[in-house]
Amino acid sequence: MGREAGDPSPFSDAEITSATAVVDMVYTDRPTDLVKTATEHDITVADGRAVLLHQGIAQFAAFTQQIPPKDAMRKALERSTFER
């Protein structure tokens, strides 16, 4: 399901509700319809912001060869917005 409410879903409700976990790649401040549907069915969810955070942590470590400042990165992401 896309960034905007009402965007067509790439998955049927049956596919979503039969999943054990959902990873949403959309970076947005609000839960997408995919995340909402999965959450309503008690399915484990990693939303786009969580994905972005962990991509950043891995890239920081790879490029700097240092331990990433995870808490600072998480706080910076919490302050950010993804408005168009």
DSSP string computed for 19-41: -SEEE-----SS--HHHHHHHHT
From the list 39, 74, 38, 37, the residue with the least C-alpha distance to 55 is 74
Region 12-27 average pLDDT? 93
Q: What is the CATH number of the domain that holds 46?
A: 3.40.50.720
Instruction: Print the domain residue range for 65.
Output: 13-79
The answer to whether residue 40 sits within a structural domain is: yes
46 assigned to some structural domain: yes
Could you give the CA distance from residue 27 to residue 31 in angstroms, rounded to a whole number? 9
Contact 28, 82 (CB under 8 A): yes
Mean pLDDT of 61-66: 97
Q: What is the pLDDT of residues 20-45, one digit of tens each?
A: 999 999 988 888 889 999 999 999 99
What is the pLDDT at residue 63?
97
The confidence score (pLDDT) of residue 1 equals 52
Q: What is the pLDDT of residue 22?
A: 95
**Residue 84 lies inside a defined structural domain of this protein:** no
pLDDT of amino acid 76: 94
